[in-house]
């Protein structure tokens, strides 16, 4: 079975979403279906069709989140013996060699990735280029605009 890497925070977010879907969204859509059914003829009932479609989406998402949690491997970067290497869960300070700009990224699972929050997916080109690097190393990243080079300034395991 393929394991899906998750940070502790990412697993908590998935659990919270699953709880919300089961305890809020599912009962809400069931109520909407009941109300639409009470209106009579279902063949031309747009509310009923919309509620059934929403129910299908919610049930699909519940199954998807349950599967991710069951396949999830929670990784706590603070307990890793990475010896200063860039690994899953690490927070990395980088300097763009071309512009001199500094940026900080945390390598996270695919579902947690949010570039605006400084979280990049472990499967992204930049994360793949950084994995295994130490502070002082230079990583070359194939970006849409060409090759970009970053110097690893610091690696933290928060």
pLDDT for 146 beyond 90: no
Nearest residue to 6 (alpha-carbon basis) of 82, 86, 71: 71
Percent of the chain with pLDDT over 90: 66
* Unique residue bearing structure tokens 């110097």: 151
Q: Which CATH number does the domain housing residue 38 bear?
A: 1.10.287.180
Answer whether 32's CB lies under 8 Å from 47's CB.
Answer: yes
DSSP 132: T
- Across the range 75-104, mean pLDDT stands at 89
Q: Which CATH number does the domain housing residue 117 bear?
A: 3.10.50.30
Which pLDDT belongs to residue 36? 84
Answer whether 48's CB lies under 8 Å from 117's CB.
Answer: no
Q: Which of 56, 74, 92 is the last residue of a domain?
A: 74
> Which pLDDT band holds residue 83 (cuts at 50, 70, 90)?
confident
Measured at the CA of 145, the angle between CA 140 and CA 147, to 5 degrees, comes to 15
Residue 53: both structure tokens together: 């479609």
Tell me: do 84 and 69 sit in the same domain.
Answer: no
Which pLDDT belongs to residue 136? 92
pLDDT for 158 beyond 90: no
Give the tens place of pLDDT for each residue, 23-51.
999 999 999 989 888 887 767 778 888 99
- The residue among 43 and 53 whose pLDDT is bigger is 53
């Amino acid at each position: 079975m393929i394991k899906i890497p998750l940070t502790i925070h990412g697993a908590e977010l998935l659990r919270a979403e699953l709880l919300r879907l089961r305890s809020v969204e599912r009962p809400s859509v069931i109520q909407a279906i009941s109300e639409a059914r009470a209106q009579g003829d279902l063949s031309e009932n747009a509310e009923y069709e919309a509620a059934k479609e929403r129910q299908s989406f919610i049930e699909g998402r519940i199954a998807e989140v349950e599967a991710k949690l069951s396949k999830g491997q929670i990784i706590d970067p603070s307990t890793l013996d990475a010896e200063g290497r860039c690994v899953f869960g690490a927070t990395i300070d980088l300097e763009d060699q071309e512009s001199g700009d500094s940026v900080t990224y945390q390598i996270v699972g695919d579902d947690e990735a949010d570039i605006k929050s400084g979280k990049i997916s472990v499967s992204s080109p930049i994360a793949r280029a950084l994995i295994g690097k130490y502070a002082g190393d230079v990583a070359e990243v194939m970006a849409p605009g060409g090759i970009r080079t970053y110097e690893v300034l610091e690696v933290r395991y928060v």
